[in-house]
Chains A and B, each alone.
Chain A
Amino acid sequence: MNPVVIDHLLADGSDLDTAADVVQAALRCQAAPPTESRRRYFDSFEWSLYLAGAALEEEVMGDRREVAWLDLADNGAALARQGVDVELGLAVDLPPGPVHTRLAPVLGIRRLLPMVSLACRSRTLRVLNDDDKTVVRVVLEQCRIAGEGARPEVLLPARLRIAGVRGYQREQEDATRQLEALLALQPAHAPLLLAALAATGRRPGAYSSKLDYRLDPKQPAEAALRNILLGLLDTLEANVDGTRRNLDPEFLHDLRVATRRTRSALSQVKGVLPPAIVEDFKHRFAWLQQVTGPVRDLDVYLLDFPKLKTSLPAPLRPGLDPLKDWLAAHYDGERQALAKALDSERFLALLRDWRAYLEAPSRSLAADAATPIEDVANRRIRRMFKRVIREGRAIADNSPAEDLHDLRKTCKKLRYLMEFFQSLYPTTEIKGLIKQTKVLLNNLGGFQDLAVQAQHLADTAVAMQAADAAPVEAQLAMGALISHLLEQQQRARREFARIFSGFDSEANRALFGRLFGPPTTTTSARHGAADSNRARA
Chain B
Amino acid sequence: MKIVGVYSIKGGVGKTSSTVNLAYLAAEAGHRTLVWDLDPQGAASYFFRVKPKIKGGGRALLRGKRALDDIIKGTDFELLELLPADFSFRNMDILLEGAKKKPIRQLQRLLKPVVGDYDYVFFDCPPSISLMSENIFRAADALMVPLIPSTLSERTLLQLKDFLRKQEGFGALKLLPFFSMVDPERSLHQDTIERLSAKHKGVLEARIPLSPEVERMGIHRMPLPAYAPSNPASSAYRALWEEVAEAL
Contacts and interface: CB of A to CB of B under 8 A. Distances in A.
Interface of A: 1-3, 66, 68, 78-83, 97-99, 126, 131-134, 164-168
Contact of A1 (B69, B76, B221): B69
B115 to A, nearest CB: 15
A166 B74 contact: yes
B189 interface: no
Interface in B201-241: 221
B98 interface: no
Chain B, interface size category, equals: 20 to 34
Query: Which one of A1, A82, A126, A166 has the greatest number of beta carbons of chain B within 10 Å?
Result: A166
Given A133-B49, A133-B50, A166 B72 contact: yes
B75 interface: yes
Nearest to A80: B30
Given A81-B29, A166-B72, 4 more contacts: A78-B78, A133-B75, A166-B81, A167-B73
B113 to A, nearest CB: 13
Contact of B30 (A82, A132, A133): A82
Given A98-B119, A131-B49, A133-B49, A3 B30 contact: no
29 contacts: A1-B70, A3-B74, A68-B30, A80-B32, A80-B79, A80-B119, A81-B79, A98-B31, A98-B32, A98-B119, A126-B76, A132-B49, A132-B221, A133-B48, A133-B50, A133-B75, A133-B76, A134-B75, A134-B76, A164-B74, A165-B73, A165-B74, A166-B72, A166-B73, A167-B50, A167-B71, A167-B74, A168-B73, A168-B74
B66 to A, nearest CB: 12
A207 B29 CA distance: 34
A3 B32 CA distance: 14
Contacts of B32: 79-80, 98
B220 to A, nearest CB: 10
A94 to B, nearest CB: 12
Contacts of B78: 78, 81
A167 B49 CA distance: 13
A158 B187 CA distance: 60
Nearest to B77: A134
Contacts of A133: 48-50, 75-76
A277 B197 CA distance: 82
Interface string B93-135: 0000000000000000000000000010000000000000000
Interface of B: 29-32, 48-51, 69-76, 78-79, 81, 119, 221
B30 A97 contact: yes
B74 A80 contact: no
Nearest to A97: B30
Query: Which one of B49, B74, B221 has the greatest number of beta carbons of chain A within 10 Å?
Result: B74
Give me the 8 closest cross-chain CB pairs, A-B, nearest first: A81-B30, A165-B74, A133-B49, A167-B73, A166-B74, A131-B49, A98-B30, A134-B76
Nearest to A129: B49
Contacts of A132: 49, 221
Nearest to B81: A166
Nearest to B51: A131
Given A1-B70, A131-B49, A133-B49, A80 B31 contact: yes
A78 B70 CA distance: 21
Contacts of B221: 131-132
Contact of A167 (B30, B31, B72, B119): B72
Nearest to B222: A132
A81 B30 CA distance: 4
A445 B71 CA distance: 55
Contacts of A2: 69
A185 B84 CA distance: 35
B33 to A, nearest CB: 10
B35 to A, nearest CB: 13
Nearest to B49: A133
B49 to A, nearest CB: 4
A166 to B, nearest CB: 4
A58 to B, nearest CB: 13
Contacts of B76: 126, 133-134
Contacts of B29: 81-83, 97-98
B22 to A, nearest CB: 16
